[in-house]
Amino acid sequence: MAREAAATAAGLLLMLLLLAGSDGGGQRLEAAAGGRSAAKGANVEAAAPPPRRAPAPAPPVVASPGQFRGQARLPRFAAPRRYDLRLRPDLVACTFTGAAAVTVAVSAPTRFLVFNAADLSVDRSSIRFRDLAPKEVVFFDDDEILVLGFSNDLPLGEGVLSMKFNGTLNDKMRGFYRSKYKYKGQMKNMAVTQFESVDARRCFPCWDKPAFKAKFKLTLEVPPGMVALSNMPIANQTVTGPVKTISYEESPLMSTYLVAIVVGLLEYIEGVTPEGTKIRVYTQVGKSNQGKFALDVGVKSLHLYKDYFGTPYPLPKLDMVAIPDFAAGAMENYGLVTFREVALLFDEESSSESSKQNIAITVAHELAHQWFGNLVTMEWWTHLWLNEGFATWMSHLAVDSFFPQWNIWTQFLDDTTAGLKLDSLEESHPIEVEIHHASEVDEIFDAISYDKGASVIRMLQNYLGAERFQKALASYIRKFAYSNAKTEDLWAVLEEKSGEPVKNLMTTWTKQQGYPVINAKLKGNYLELEQAQFLLDGSSGRGMWIVPITAGCGSYDMQKKFLLKGKSDRLDIKDIASQCGNQVKGGNFWIKLNINQTGFYRVQYDDKLSAALQNALQSKKLSVMDKIGIVEDSHALSMACKQTLTSLLRLLYAYREEADYSVLSHINTVSLSVAKISVDATPGLVGDIKQLLIKILLPPSVKLGWDPKDRESHLDALLRPVLLVALLKLGHDKTINEGVRRFGIFVHDRNTSLLPPDTRKAAYLAAMQNVTSSYRAAYNDLLKVYRESDEAEEKARVLSTLCHCKDNNIVLESLNLLFTNEVRSQDAYYVLQGLDVESRETAWLWLKGSWDRIAKKYTDTQEGGFIRYIVTLFSSNEKAEEFSRFFATRKKPEFQRALKQSLENVRVSARWIQGIRSEPRLAQTVQELLRRP
């Protein structure tokens, strides 16, 4: 929204009418009384209604509070400069009281102040601006705004807006909420904030938009024994009777969604960066030792980012806190980063290697935000990817620096694959997505903003070169420090520093959804390339991109790089590499596009090029990243019915001697996808297809075994459970029996070396294979493990296996745990992860029958997760119609996108099934591959 200009007195009425323009041309301005609402959200204590009067002639049209309804953004005629906040949480009653004194700058004539508030009770009598009491106090529930109308125009310049309010420490993990934890055998409440994206308004009245940066001065009143943390260090504290009053230093300019508070019984460990910044990891009492690994990564990250961005860490301290109840993985609050326990705490005895890697990535991600997001903040949620895409990319850069043996850039292709998968749907969205209402924001925290965003950054860095890219980013950070930026601002700096047409190139990737598939055909000595938008439903979209093409021929020694700017182009293969010469025959010939998968696109080769690549694959001439790219592209093309499942299975078979973790993790994912679709597409052949997939995955699993080896690599430790779980899901009897054996030993000896953390999930899954309503010993044993453990990772591990059972009564019992206090609401999706094709009908009937209970207990965004996990288990158009009918009267903006994407995935699967059923050589190919030695 453009800033309103100052108006003369004569033009004031016109300006106020213009402010109402987005209500729709000619739409009647709502009367103030008609806008009041206290149904939910902020509650304004109303004065007694005035006595009734006789109807009077209609007054001339004047501006009213109603003009501010339905706006995506707050008006800019008044903006906060400084918040002075005092909050007093009651951890027993789970309520809080507060007082705010906000310095507000009025920059244009207005008699209104408009700001956000939700789930708060505001004391109307306490509201003052420059000692003036408002004439009107109107809350619009749907928009979560509070409008103050004064009798006369407010003076230009700064004044203080003050008010008192109170609210509830809710159990929804947003705003100012409560988290439960155990201390000395008793359950206690912790007070925690989670404000991103639009929930600061649930703690205090504020201008809750990223562009309204201000300084914050917080004061907390808490019980004397509690640790109370905020963004800044403590300035002073006093204890008077049962109250400890803590005042914190004033913050630099920051957005409301980055304000943070944590109050509870906590302990910490501490480290210091080479620059002298103090870093602490706070945990529940007794768990601080588990913060050592995260602390080490945090110290290294701050030091690395200071050099990379050419700007010191902006605050005097950094705290990282493990929160028992936390909706996201972590949150980058300025100077006070909050995490799920499983994303911050690592125990050498009980944590897995995958957990260790996840903690490193998560800590590096959140600390990258201290620059990309906190110091320089997106101007509006449309530019969310500037935060999340860059933090995702930077976290891999940092972890690769700390742990080069992890090959983290190869694992980054997991992120690229996730982005490609979501962005191949019609119901995807551009990286820069228009946000029209606060209810839409949470749904774009997805694989487009994170994974596609990070992938196009990697593509751009590869095009510009690492050194030029880094210097330009540092310049961008310095230029926009303590302010807000748009995507165009980043492109302008990169273009200025690199001399490349960055804006024209990257706009095609950020402002339109989707991506291209490059069709490659060999015609004589020419390679013909043509781009078309790739969609999983098999249609061709109208998108067109400027595509950074990389190509190699027969070798990685020489590569051709160029921009495909139009729909098609052709290359003389001599230009790709001299090794190709004029002949395109012989065993050494192959052409690979998108070298090392640096580009965000897929490639479809003609038959000759595909055969040559498969030969190169079997001859071990391709890089690990290119091995991943080939199988992922083939899988997607098969789903879109652009290639056959028959050809995909032949390709998968070519990987049977593969040993690399990253490659095999992708082979595993594709294999399980094939097994799932086969249940519906070829029920008579599904057993043989599973046996073929087992034949591919079993050799590397046998080589690794169940037991870790001395001094084995991190990647081998990651691979072992991936393969074991896949074999279990494919029904490999020997793996199931061994898992059951080891689980039986573990039940009687929790410290047995036969079941370390990395392989426990595999054993739990094996044990669940034999569980029935009448033989439930293993199920009861798993519930006991869950109830007795105080480790978040172990609890998640158990939950994710409980629904993997052939007895639907056990599946129902597991799903109903979600309505008990035994499962934290943040952990619901672990239970849903255990569902499979065999239990899908039971899960769908449960979802329908339990929807009202789900809607009552879980947030609107979490409801989208229930839909996604259960609906996408199905693969028929009839089921898609059934889902559509059910949700037609239950739609909410917060999960609308998740519902549409889930329905589209069901229809994509239905179309894939029809394609598979029409393949004449599928059964013959499966038998042929099974017979091979």
Kindly list the catalytic residues.
366
Instruction: Compute the C-alpha angle 835/837/841, nearest 5°.
Output: 85
- Looking at the DSSP bridge assignments, the partners of residue 191 are 178, 263
* 3-state SS assignment for residue 595: helix
Residues in the chain: 933
In order of 176, 252, 562, 688, the CA distances from 87 in angstroms are 11, 20, 58, 64
Quick check: 892 and 658 in contact, CB under 8 A? no
Report the 10 Å Cβ neighbour count for 513.
22
CA distance 643 to 381: 38
Quick check: 409 and 396 in contact, CB under 8 A? yes
Residue type for position 325: D
Residue type for position 196: E
CA distance 2 to 7: 15
The annotation status of 383 as a binding-site residue, yes or no, is no
CA distance 928 to 319: 59
Instruction: Compute the C-alpha angle 145/148/154, nearest 5°.
Output: 130
Quick check: 394 and 459 in contact, CB under 8 A? no
Q: What number of helices (H) and strands (E) belong to the chain?
A: 28, 31
Report the 10 Å Cβ neighbour count for 164.
16
Which residue from 200, 122, 113, 117 is spatially nearest to 158, judged by alpha carbons?
A: 113
In order of 283, 695, 841, 887, 897, the CA distances from 863 in angstroms are 29, 39, 18, 12, 12
Which residue from 305, 280, 302 is spatially nearest to 393, judged by alpha carbons?
A: 305
- CA 112 remoteness from chain centre: 37
Element (H, E) at 745: helix 733-748
The annotation status of 658 as a binding-site residue, yes or no, is no
DSSP secondary structure letter of residue 209: S
* 3-state SS assignment for residue 376: strand
CA distance 560 to 538: 30
Residue type for position 720: R
CA distance 915 to 280: 56
What tokens does 663 get?
A: 């490659």
What tokens does 325 get?
A: 């109840």
Q: Are strands 278-284 and 317-323 parallel, antiparallel or unpaired?
A: parallel
CA distance 151 to 95: 34
Element (H, E) at 719: helix 714-729
Element (H, E) at 527: strand 526-534
- The residue to which tokens 């950054």 are assigned: 457
What tokens does 823 get?
A: 């499962």
Burial-class residue 170 by CB neighbours within 10 Å (0-12, 13-18, 19+).
middle
Q: Cα-flanking dihedrals φ and ψ of residue 752, to 5°?
A: -60, 140
**Which contacts qualify for 71-75: CB closer than 8 Å, 24 or more apart?**
71/1, 71/22, 71/143, 72/1, 72/435, 72/436, 72/437, 73/1, 73/209, 73/380, 74/114, 74/115, 74/116, 74/145, 74/207, 74/209, 74/212, 75/1, 75/4, 75/19, 75/110, 75/112, 75/114
The annotation status of 365 as a binding-site residue, yes or no, is yes
CA distance 747 to 758: 16
Which residue from 191, 34, 204 is spatially nearest to 119, judged by alpha carbons?
A: 204
Residue list for the binding site for Zn(2+)? 365, 369, 388
Residue list for the binding site? 365, 369, 388
